[in-house]
Amino acid sequence: MQKIIVEGGKKLEGDVHISGSKNAALPIIAASILNGGTSKLYNVPNIHDTQMMYKILEELGCIVKKTKNKVIIDSSKVNKYEIPENLMREMRSSVILAGAIIGKHHEAVFSYPGGCDIGTRPIDLHLKSFEKLGIIISKNYGNISCKCDTIENTKIDLDFPSVGATENIMLASCLGIGTTTITNAAREPEIIDLQNFLNRMGAKITGAGTNIIEIIGVKKLKDVSYNIMPDRIEAGTYLCATAATGGRIKALNIVPEHITPILNKLEEANCKLNIGKNFVELVAPRRLKAVNIKTMPYPGFPTDMQSIFVAMLTVAKGTSLVEENVFENRYKFTSELERMGAKITISGRTAIIEGTRRIHGTNIAATDLRGGMAMVIEALVAKKKTEIDNIHYILRGYENLDKKLTNLGAKISLKVGE
Ligand code: UD1
């Protein structure tokens, strides 16, 4: 088992190059099934989750060639339509493969992704949408089988702007008959990236980035090359980690408009920002000021930044209120921060954080991807050494985490534990 070991107390200083977006890459890798041909993808983050997605594609019959951040997927020989249960359990987001497989092959079998450490995460909106598209769903001992003769595109109104359900509908409808209109669609930038990728392949999709998306079915899709957008959550993470340590940073290869709510809150916390076309420079104040945040679907404050902000605010001056409105159980990580001296009280969906300067290192264990990263930030500001266990959660989503933080002056290492 790997561990992260951090000697805290160093200010982060320097430049960091932000990787390609995990949440854009995953549905785009899944979408490579749709052309039954070749997809060349660039700026793909080399992280556990993308590796898992390749593994599933290979199980289905794809040929996947990867070199660092480039991957070539040949989906011309797909001959299986079932996502293996063990791989499905390992990565919840593999559910978006269902839309791509059924869209292309009119048949897909997968299992319930199961709960996870940030909530129950149902897939009812995905399944209801599939049924609207004329897909017949049968459930059998946790397995879900989907079948249809053709995908009948139609109007779908989502009860909640779910990112995954919006993507799954887009994937399933590209090669359908007629037009699908999604209302109350999710508006995240990753959905725009998926639209751009699919259109480059020959799909006819408009409206991504707004709450109405229209997909006009086409008969065939072609080979494609595509550059994945930068990871807005990774960008926000490095900015907050730097702010927490009182340092200065230039985050490169980002789209600043994607992180407007994050930048607004960092300014409110008294950070100085210089926002360029594709970079943001941040200079932290001597001490951060407490701020309040409420997570919301895009363009609101992202839930994936909630734990990162909580960690940062544990060392701010004053009391911050954080309200989590997207996932029902996203505060598990806070008990580990409390063991390090953070003063956090959870009341329902609200976290009350009383800033303190007394954070000290100890042995803790990651609970989920972003909660785990919050622990790394806490360790960076702590006195003395912190050892973090269960770091496979963190490595799911952060490329070269130890190298990037070391370059910024942190004392961090990955160690194989007993
Ligand atoms: C995606 C992101 C994740 C991010 C989340 C919200 C990926 C791979 N993951 O996850 O990092 O935190 O968006 O921005 O892109 N819901 C239902 N029924 C459904 C689907 C969702 O009730 O069928 C609920 C969820 O439980 C949750 C809320 O809707 O409370 C939002 O979920 P959703 O937007 O679907 O998140 P994901 O696509 O799973």
The pLDDT tens digits for 358-385 are 999 999 999 999 999 999 999 999 999 9
Q: Both 185 and 302 in a single domain?
A: no
How does pLDDT run across 31-44, given as a tens digit for each residue? 999 999 999 999 99
Q: Tell me what pLDDT residue 87 has.
A: 87
Give me the pLDDT at residue 92, please.
Answer: 80
Average pLDDT over residues 331-357: 96
Predicted confidence (pLDDT) per residue in 308-322, tens digit: 999 999 999 999 999
- Res. 112: pLDDT tops 70: yes
Which pTM value belongs to this model? 0.97
In the predicted structure, residue 417 carries a pLDDT above the cut 80: no
Range of the domain at 387: 2-19+230-416
Token pair, residue 236, equals 């926000």
Chosen domain end from 227, 242, 271: 227
Q: Please state the atom number of ligand 1 nearest to the C-alpha of residue 160.
A: 29
Chain-centroid distance, C-alpha 85: 22
115 pLDDT exceeds 60?
no
- Residues 272 and 296 placed together within one structural domain of the fold: yes
Distance 239 CA to ligand 1 centre (A): 24
Tell me what the pLDDT averaged over the chain comes to.
Answer: 95
Distance of CA 207 to the CA centre of its chain: 22
Angle between helices 189-200 and 22-31 (to 10 degrees): 30
- Distance, in Å, from the CA atom of 284 to the CA atom of 272, rounded to the nearest integer, reads 6
pLDDT at 418: 57
Task: Tell me the best of 121, 132, 294 to mutate to test the pocket of ligand 1, counting ligand atoms within 8 Å of each CB and taking the most.
Answer: 121
Judgement on whether residues 13 and 75 belong to the same structural domain of the protein: no
Residue 214 tokens, joined: 């229209």
Residue at which a domain ends, from 169, 201, 227: 227
Look at the chain and report how many structural domains it folds into. 2
Q: Domain boundary at 227, 248, 274, which?
A: 227
In the predicted structure, residue 407 carries a pLDDT above the cut 80: yes
Same domain, 51 and 181: yes
What local confidence, expressed as pLDDT, does residue 1 receive?
Answer: 78
Q: If you take atom 15 of ligand 1, which residue's CA is the nearest one?
A: 23
* Substitution site in 49, 170, 326, 349 for ligand 1 pocket (most atoms within 8 Å of beta carbon): 326
259/231 Cα distance (integer angstroms): 10
| Rounded alpha-carbon distances, angstroms, from residue 392 to 4, 358, 364 | 10, 28, 14
- Could you tell me the distance, in angstroms and rounded to a whole number, from the CA of residue 310 to the centre of ligand 1? 20
Residues 289 and 184 placed together within one structural domain of the fold:
no
